[in-house]
Chains A and B, each alone.
Chain A
Amino acid sequence: MNHTALIKNATQTLIDHVDELTALDQAIGDGDHGLNMKRGAMAIQARLDELAGQSLNDALRTMGMTCMSTIGGSSGPVFGTLMVTLAKELPATKPTPVDLAGALDAGIKALTRLGKAEVGQKTLLDVLAPVQQTLAAGGGEMIARVRACAIASADATARMDAIKGRASFLGERAFGHVDPGSRSMALIIDSIGDTLSHHP
């Protein structure tokens, strides 16, 4: 299959969930996350024809640069860097789960450097890291397990303090809320899995 369906469905999922993402960010942030993701998703959808003619690697690079120049906030650099890194690390042939695990590992390292964040601090790294481990471990029912892992890992950020080890007043109040960026990441991964299972 061509990657166009993957891109179209994943971006549409973000657009369809804009109100949920806004509500999550209003609870513990400044409320702009849903709209930022929607703006990036729409900018990518506007380039679907161009992306369809590109290789997966080039399409990831184009999407990454589009995120960086349209989203702003933290999400622009974060999702942009992730996609540009995946573009660089994935093989030109159809990627296997092990290829994906290797590229995601590089992506996680790039985001750790960029955001000076670590796993366990209520960021989308808390979705990417377990998904990467699932891919690296291999085994059957891979798509279903990756999707379940992404959704459950995003939900689990509700049980994390905003910054590990620092019980600021806000840290305590952020407890119980799902991290918006983690939810967006899970929605993207879940949509990719859904598209892949319908177009094997």
Chain B
Amino acid sequence: MKKLINDVDDVLAESLAGFAAAHADILRLAPERQFVARRELKRGKVALISGGGSGHEPLHAGFVGHGMLDAACPGQVFTSPTPDQMLGAAQAVGGGAGVLFIVKNYSGDMMNFQMAAEMLDQENETVIVNDDVAVENSTYTTGRRGVAGTLVVEKVVGAAAERGADLAALKALGDAVNKATASMGVALTSCTVPAAGSPTFQIGADEMELGVGIHGEPGRRRVKLGSADEIAAELTGAILKDLSLKPGAEVLLFVNGFGGTPLLEQYLMVNAAHKVLAGAGIKVVRHLTGSYVTSLEMAGCSITVSALDAAQFALWDAPVHTAALRWGM
């Protein structure tokens, strides 16, 4: 294992300390590293809280700030946070208008957030993100997994919360955006959890894992490495089949690097996905490209297509100021 670390047991603590120092104008890190919270809280606003295992940076703490999350709870690498973290976050950022949890659909996240929701003495709702079309079911999920589409849900719902939408409206909006969003990924190499010290999976130099999850867990199938156009056709094809979009539909295209793939290749994949979408008569009206929902140093990418409506596109365009996403302010 070759990583920029001191002691494997201190990776999370030291990385979060650096993150908090680098973005002290936007956020603060709670004692015991329970959660990262927005520095300027807005009274009377529904509090948006997400969280999950670490190793996906900048997700979720990188999306704490104006127009997105109020708090994010970081778990150990690839391990969901514990209920007391979510309770601590809710108590710190809850502004009296209720709490909305945004949870990726993994068994561990679901159970820990559910326990927190049951113990919380504030009105709360949960939006479950399950945008991954690759795998319907596995031991580690309760249905489809939540992957890069989580960013789209957090951005759109965050903007609506900033404008004062109530808890019920935000829950409905989050569910709607999740339903309109589909993703699928491909891995070219594995990733190494620091504390494990060895790669999560073995993959041949000429192989790729189609439909990989964001923890390097298995996907649809292991095949010989294809061209970018072939990969884009497979990923985008599965997404379009799931969303069943009509020609003329307007979408957001989000090509997400998994941590080990350079922007040079990510933009090449944008170009490749464009060809597939144009062939299906789909119009790409918004873009996001970059490594936002990562799997440590895994090479590969995911493609996310989000068929938002006009009001949802307006919320996507709304000002945001977080460590990882910033526009309009």
Contact = CB atoms under 8 A, between A and B. Distances in A.
B45 to A, nearest CB: 28
Interface string A27-52: 01111101110010000000000000
User: Main SS of the interface on chain A?
Assistant: helix
20 contacts: A26-B200, A29-B139, A29-B215, A29-B217, A30-B200, A30-B213, A31-B196, A31-B216, A32-B53, A68-B82, A72-B81, A73-B75, A73-B80, A73-B108, A73-B112, A74-B111, A76-B108, A114-B114, A122-B139, A163-B138
B51 to A, nearest CB: 10
A71 B138 contact: no
B267 interface: no
Interface stretch (A90-98, A143-151, A170-178, A183-191): A170-178
B91 interface: no
Interface in A132-169: 162-163, 166, 168-169
B111 A77 contact: yes
B79 to A, nearest CB: 4
Place the interface of chain A in its size category: 35 or more
Interface of B: 53, 75-84, 107-108, 111-112, 114-115, 135-140, 142, 193, 195-196, 198, 200-201, 211, 213, 215-221
Nearest to A116: B142
B143 to A, nearest CB: 10
A163 B139 contact: yes
Contacts, number: 123
A197 to B, nearest CB: 33
A168 B139 contact: no
Interface in A1-55: 22, 26, 28-32, 34-36, 39
Interface of A: 22, 26, 28-32, 34-36, 39, 68-78, 114-116, 121-123, 162-163, 166, 168-171, 173-174, 179
B54 to A, nearest CB: 10
A12 B8 CA distance: 21
A168 B196 contact: no
Contacts of A71: 79, 82
Given A31-B200, A115-B107, A174 B112 contact: no
B135 A169 contact: yes
B107 A74 contact: yes
Nearest to A28: B139
A29 B107 CA distance: 12
B138 A170 contact: yes
B77 A168 contact: no
Contacts of B215: 29-32
A139 to B, nearest CB: 33
B211 to A, nearest CB: 8
A163 B141 CA distance: 10
